[in-house]
A and B are shown apart, each in its own frame.
Chain A
């Protein structure tokens, strides 16, 4: 009996591996193409069907890509901006989410609707007024222009609120008895229990800013304020040809920090499993 159960489990596991494996390869196809193109010469890029393994490996593409623009500076700028926004968003989002999830106050529904409504706006039309704001603040071509507008995020507030709401109410009662302040309760009790969601919010915030292009392009003008995504565009020519090999090489090294960030964050999902025992309490 026990044996057949184990056998069944193994069969299931193999089945899931196959399902996951096939879909994972399908899902990764474009990323694999990106990697393989980053090592190709121009004459190989347009082969139909694509040759997945380059005939000649051009590692030179990476060197040329790195030297084509001041990527060192761009990396620094992108890192400063993305990290500042990530930390800022975690603070503002968890504060607001806490209020919405665990507090009763007048105008809560209206405020929440207002928050959510910020996600319904098309950035295409708010570009001009946002530019006006930055001009009035004299923030054009500065780090503030790249950071401050993104320090609040309603998606994050909503996501964390949903999570906070699933945590047991008794947590508060216990905390109240101890005479904890709300902020301390949030910091010491709620957030540690919400690691997975904090991690995903951090990931999204980091990624969103790492990948943003149009906004940095519009609000910065000088070379030393530029971020990575603008550097990438440098390889895409509108009328002439795009240097695909070099472009993809640059794209790969630009995406590496996000992969690292993801791997780092992913741990918290696993950690979450280990600590769930506490949550039932």
Chain B
């Protein structure tokens, strides 16, 4: 009886104290998020239920904006196309992860001069958007003096119109996105690779495991938490991608690269329809939330920690 009570007291003590301190640890972040994220989020949710053209005050219209996005003759096809385009763009994520991981593993070797390469792969992430757009416009230039086209011609193929071709524009942007985002992923993977004890590799080598086997038996499973992070964040960021479309294609040709976020931008800054843009943002939020939830349930549960 007394033993049980003591046990219970301990339990309360243990969990109560831990919960309290956990929230203390979260507090700084919570305060910032509440002020600068959740308030704006609720505001946007309210705004999505209004007719609101800046700089005028919003007026409540209920679900009208959502009706426009999902059922309107003009709005719905455009909106659904933008969702399709965004998912198309997100196909680049696994590709990006594969390439980044491969390079990170190479860069993690103790080769002479490898730090020079590490710096090289990071440079795209710090190159100015303006420089990126100039150089990629040249790489993808539809004439035969574009970089890719001149290579194609040398190899005996006919030139392509890349960004100016409705079917090729999105793949071209995906490739560019990989180039641009690789640096981040490589940094994260490199950091993740450090958590794997070298003793494991040494042991495996003694057992006679080859490089390939070492990767699949040690690196891949132990890198799980990092890979999972890169996947979840990669999907979120790719659905929010905007800069490439803005700088390179302005959503064209024929709307082929108008992603959800670009569509949102058009609503907010071309049509000045903040209410409708907020509705788009809310739908995007829900999509991302569900996608992330699925990833946690399907992939996250298989990750091996520690």
Interface residues of A (CB under 8 A from B): 13, 16-17, 19-21, 23-25, 27-31, 33-34, 37, 48-50, 91-93, 95-96, 98-99, 103-108, 111, 113-122, 124-126, 128-130, 132-133, 148-149, 151-152, 154-155, 157-159, 162-163, 165-169, 182, 195-197, 199-200, 203-204, 207, 211, 232, 236, 242, 244, 247-248, 251, 255, 258-259, 262-263, 266, 269-270, 272-273, 276-277, 279-280
Contacts and interface: CB of A to CB of B under 8 A. Distances in A.
Contact of B25 (A95, A119, A151, A152): A95
B197 A279 contact: yes
Given A92-B32, A269-B194, A251 B131 contact: yes
A105 to B, nearest CB: 4
Given A121-B281, A165-B225, 18 more contacts: A20-B107, A31-B123, A93-B29, A106-B19, A120-B236, A124-B268, A124-B281, A129-B40, A133-B36, A149-B36, A151-B32, A157-B29, A242-B130, A262-B122, A262-B126, A272-B191, A276-B198, A279-B195
A259 B119 contact: yes
Contacts of A115: 29, 33
B158 interface: no
Contacts of B33: 114-115, 118, 152, 154
A167 B305 CA distance: 8
10 contacts: A29-B135, A116-B292, A125-B44, A152-B29, A163-B225, A165-B305, A248-B131, A251-B128, A276-B198, A276-B199
A37 B150 CA distance: 22
Given A16-B111, A125-B281, A126-B43, A151 B28 contact: yes
A276 B134 contact: no
B277 A166 contact: no
A25 B128 CA distance: 17
B175 to A, nearest CB: 11
Nearest to B222: A166
Interface in B267-285: 268-269, 274, 277-278, 280-281, 284-285
B190 interface: yes
Interface of B: 15, 18-19, 21-23, 25-26, 28-33, 35-41, 43-44, 47, 54, 103, 106-111, 114-115, 117-128, 130-132, 134-136, 138-139, 141, 145, 147, 150, 179, 182, 184, 187-188, 190-192, 194-200, 222, 225-226, 228-229, 232-233, 236, 240, 242, 261, 264-265, 268-269, 274, 277-278, 280-281, 284-285, 288-289, 292-293, 305-306
A249 to B, nearest CB: 11
B109 to A, nearest CB: 7
| Secondary structure class of chain B's binding surface, majority of residues | helix
Contacts of A279: 195, 197
Contacts of B141: 48
Nearest to B32: A152
A269 B191 contact: yes
A279 B39 CA distance: 42
Given A96-B25, A124-B277, A162-B226, A20 B126 contact: no
Contacts of A114: 33
Contacts of A157: 29
B39 A133 contact: yes
A50 B127 CA distance: 17
B22 A103 contact: yes
B21 A103 contact: yes
A232 B120 CA distance: 23
Contacts of B265: 124
Contacts of A91: 28
A129 to B, nearest CB: 4
Contacts of A121: 37, 40-41, 44, 281, 285
A146 to B, nearest CB: 12
A130 B40 contact: yes
B111 A13 contact: yes
Contacts of B118: 266, 269
B134 to A, nearest CB: 7
A28 B194 contact: no
Contacts of A92: 28-29, 32
A169 B135 CA distance: 49
A113 B289 CA distance: 9
Contact of B22 (A13, A105, A117, A168): A105
B196 A276 contact: yes
Nearest to A204: B184
Contact of B119 (A25, A50, A262): A262
Contacts of B108: 269, 273
B32 to A, nearest CB: 4
Contacts of A16: 106, 109, 111
A166 B126 CA distance: 30
Contacts of B32: 92, 148-149, 151-152
Contacts of B191: 163, 196-197, 199-200, 269, 272
Contacts of B194: 195-196, 269, 272-273, 276
Contact of B261 (A27, A108, A124, A258): A124
Nearest to B268: A124
- Residue of B145, B150, B198 ringed by the most chain A CB atoms within 10 A: B198
